[in-house]
Amino acid sequence: MNERWVCKRCFADNEASQAACHQCDLLRGAEATEADQSGWSGPSGSGAATAEPAGWRNLLRFWWIPLIAIVLAVGYFANARRNADGVLEAAGTLSVTDLRPGDCFNSDEETEITEVDAAPCTEAHEYEVFANGSHEADAYPSEAEMDEVFVSLCEASFDAFVGVPYADSELWASMITPSDESWGDGDRDFTCILYDPEDSQLTNSMEGANR
């Protein structure tokens, strides 16, 4: 079960019991503007703004915000309906294990979820699935390994779905990942999702949008 949270200003990893970030004191769940982030001087005594990560890591654009962990939902029946072509035609709850590329959905959760509010992409939504994949490993992936999964699975699939390379897109991407607990049960499934970083809701599929 993944109950830690990531600060939206300095991206530090925090315990679930902490009400504010241990590194920059931003309250849990509070948003941080670009000016706020650029103005934060880093840990005490650093004397300078935190530098951008070098190379391909800069392209990740903090994919783990929101980092959404999942557990297997055994025996769950979704309420959302698909047409004969497999496209969502009626809104409703949908198990995260049933998400497919082209599915659009909303979710208020930023930690552990088993289902989402799926909807046709012509209805207002926050997220769209653009790739599914798996990562086989014995131990639960470290943060660095999660970065590698994102690059090899999500960044590599982004261009083919949206129509522009991820580094050039105005959209951002994240992953729905197994939780530590579901990993122990054999869950190795990863789902790539895109969203608008300005928090505006999308009203169409971004497949072939060239954004």
102, 161 Cβ separation under 8 angstroms? no
Cα–Cα distance, 44 to 124 (Å, whole number): 42
Q: How confident is the model at residue 25 (pLDDT cuts 50, 70, 90)?
A: confident
Cα–Cα distance, 125 to 199 (Å, whole number): 10
Model pLDDT for residues 157-195, shown as the tens digit of each residue: 999 999 999 999 999 998 888 888 888 888 888 999 999
Residue of 107, 111, 105 lying closest to 128 (CA atoms): 105
Model pLDDT for residues 112-168, shown as the tens digit of each residue: 778 889 999 999 999 999 999 988 888 888 888 888 989 999 999 999 999 999 999
Mean pLDDT, the chain, integer: 76
Domain ranges across the chain: 1-51, 68-195
Which residues have CB under 8 Å from 175's CB, separation 6+? 63, 64, 67, 68, 146, 149, 150, 153, 154, 190, 191, 192, 193
Per-residue pLDDT at 2 exceeds 90: no
